[in-house]
A and B are shown apart, each in its own frame.
Chain A
Amino acid sequence: MQGRLPPRHIRLNKDGGPRFVHVFLKPCKTFLSYFISLSLRKIHQTFPFSEGKRDRKRKCSTTTTKSQNFCRNEFNITGLCNRSSCPLSNSQYATIREEKGQCFLYMKVIERAAFPARMWEKVKLSKNYEKALEQIDQNLIYWPRFIRHKCKQRFTKITQYLIRMRKLVLKRQRKLVPLSRKVESREKRKEEKALIAAQLDNAIEKELLERLKQGTYGDIYNFPVHAFDKALEQQDHESESESEEEEAEEEVEQREFVAEDEVEESDLSDFEDMNKLKTSSDEEEQESSEGEEQQEESSDEEEAGASTSKSAARGRKRRAFVEIEYEREVEPVSKSRDF
Chain B
Amino acid sequence: MDFTEVPVTSERKSKKKKSKKAGNKRMSEAENGESAGVEKKKSEEKMENGESSAAFPPTFSVSEIKNKQRRHMMFMKLKQEKRKQKLQLRKKKKKERAALGDKAPPKEVPKTIENQRVFDETTVDLEDEEIAFDEGTDEFSAYFNRLTNPQVLITTSDRPRGKTVRFCEQLASVIPNAHVYYRRGLALKKIIPQCVARNFTYLMVINEDRLVPNGLVLCHLPDGPTAHFKVSSVRLRKEIKRRGKDPTEHSPEVILNNFSTRLGHTIARLFAALFPQDPNFVGRQVATFHNQRDFIFFRFHRYIFKNEKKVGIQELGPRFTLKLRSLQKGTFDSKYGEYEWVLKRHEMDACRRKFQL
**A residues lining the B interface (CB < 8 Å):** 171-172, 183, 187-188, 190-191, 193-195, 197-198, 200-201, 203-205, 207-209, 211-213, 217-218, 220-221, 223-225, 228, 268, 271, 274, 277-281, 285, 289, 309-310, 312-314, 316, 329
Partner of B301 from A204, A212, A314 at Cβ < 8 Å? A204
Inter-subunit contact A279/B295 (CB<8 Å) = no
Partner of A309 from B185, B248, B253, B257 at Cβ < 8 Å? B248
Leading 8 A-B pairs by shortest Cβ distance? A277-B312, A198-B292, A194-B293, A223-B308, A312-B244, A228-B308, A194-B292, A279-B312
Please report the C-alpha to C-alpha distance between residue A228 and residue B305 in the assembled complex, in whole angstroms.
14
Instruction: Give the residues from 242 to 259 in chain B that come closer than 8 angstroms, CB to CB, to chain A.
Output: 242, 244-245, 248, 253, 255, 257
* B185 → A minimal CB distance (Å): 7
Residues in B neighbouring A314, C-beta threshold 8 A: 242, 244, 314
* B172 → A minimal CB distance (Å): 20
Please report the C-alpha to C-alpha distance between residue A225 and residue B323 in the assembled complex, in whole angstroms.
39
**Which residue in chain A gives the minimum CB-CB distance to B303?**
A208
A312 with B302, Cβ < 8 A, contacts A191-B232, A220-B281 known: yes
A195 with B302, Cβ < 8 A, contacts A205-B313, A313-B245 known: no
**Which residue in chain A gives the minimum CB-CB distance to B312?**
A277
A197 with B293, Cβ < 8 A, contacts A274-B312, A281-B310, A310-B248 known: yes
**B residues lining the A interface (CB < 8 Å):** 112-114, 185, 187, 232-233, 242, 244-245, 248, 253, 255, 257, 281-284, 286, 288, 290, 292-295, 297, 299, 301-314, 321, 323, 345
Partner of B112 from A190, A197, A201, A329 at Cβ < 8 Å? A197
**Which residue in chain B gives the minimum CB-CB distance to A221?**
B305
Inter-subunit contact A204/B286 (CB<8 Å) = yes
Inter-subunit contact A225/B242 (CB<8 Å) = no
**Which residue in chain B gives the minimum CB-CB distance to A310?**
B248
Partner of A223 from B232, B286, B303, B305 at Cβ < 8 Å? B305
Residues in A neighbouring B314, C-beta threshold 8 A: 277-278, 312, 314
* B125 → A minimal CB distance (Å): 20
Inter-subunit contact B309/A228 (CB<8 Å) = yes
**Which residue in chain A gives the minimum CB-CB distance to B230?**
A187
Partner of B297 from A190, A195, A207 at Cβ < 8 Å? A195
**Which residue in chain B gives the minimum CB-CB distance to A180?**
B345
Q: Is the interface of A mostly helix, strand, loop or mixed?
A: helix
Partner of A197 from B114, B305, B308, B310 at Cβ < 8 Å? B114
Please report the C-alpha to C-alpha distance between residue A205 and residue B257 in the assembled complex, in whole angstroms.
12
Inter-subunit contact A172/B309 (CB<8 Å) = no
**Which residue in chain A gives the minimum CB-CB distance to B301?**
A204
Inter-subunit contact B321/A191 (CB<8 Å) = yes
A200 with B288, Cβ < 8 A, contacts A188-B232, A191-B232 known: yes
Residues in A neighbouring B248, C-beta threshold 8 A: 309-310
Please report the C-alpha to C-alpha distance between residue A224 and residue B309 in the assembled complex, in whole angstroms.
11
Given A208-B313, A218-B281, A278-B313, 5 other A-B residues pairs in contact with their CB atoms under 8 A: A188-B232, A200-B290, A200-B297, A225-B308, A279-B312
Residues in A neighbouring B185, C-beta threshold 8 A: 172
* B13 → A minimal CB distance (Å): 40
Please report the C-alpha to C-alpha distance between residue A196 and residue B187 in the assembled complex, in whole angstroms.
39
Inter-subunit contact B242/A171 (CB<8 Å) = no
* B312 → A minimal CB distance (Å): 4
* A200 → B minimal CB distance (Å): 6
Inter-subunit contact B292/A271 (CB<8 Å) = no
Residues in A neighbouring B187, C-beta threshold 8 A: 171-172
Inter-subunit contact A278/B312 (CB<8 Å) = yes
* A236 → B minimal CB distance (Å): 14
Inter-subunit contact A190/B245 (CB<8 Å) = no
**Which residue in chain A gives the minimum CB-CB distance to B306?**
A274
Partner of A212 from B113, B244, B308, B345 at Cβ < 8 Å? B308
Residues in A neighbouring B305, C-beta threshold 8 A: 208, 212, 221, 223, 271
Please report the C-alpha to C-alpha distance between residue A201 and residue B245 in the assembled complex, in whole angstroms.
18
Inter-subunit contact B310/A220 (CB<8 Å) = no
Please report the C-alpha to C-alpha distance between residue A313 and residue B283 in the assembled complex, in whole angstroms.
16
Partner of B257 from A203, A211, A224, A225 at Cβ < 8 Å? A203
Inter-subunit contact A208/B286 (CB<8 Å) = yes
Inter-subunit contact A279/B292 (CB<8 Å) = no
**Which residue in chain B gives the minimum CB-CB distance to A312?**
B244
Partner of B307 from A205, A223, A312 at Cβ < 8 Å? A223
* A338 → B minimal CB distance (Å): 16
Residues in A neighbouring B306, C-beta threshold 8 A: 268, 271, 274, 277, 279, 289
**Which residue in chain B gives the minimum CB-CB distance to A184?**
B232
Residues in A neighbouring B284, C-beta threshold 8 A: 310
Inter-subunit contact B321/A201 (CB<8 Å) = no
Residues in A neighbouring B293, C-beta threshold 8 A: 190, 193-194, 197
Inter-subunit contact B245/A312 (CB<8 Å) = yes
* B197 → A minimal CB distance (Å): 21
Residues in B neighbouring A310, C-beta threshold 8 A: 245, 248, 283-284, 302
**Which residue in chain B gives the minimum CB-CB distance to A197?**
B292
A208 with B311, Cβ < 8 A, contacts A279-B306, A314-B244 known: yes
Inter-subunit contact A203/B290 (CB<8 Å) = yes
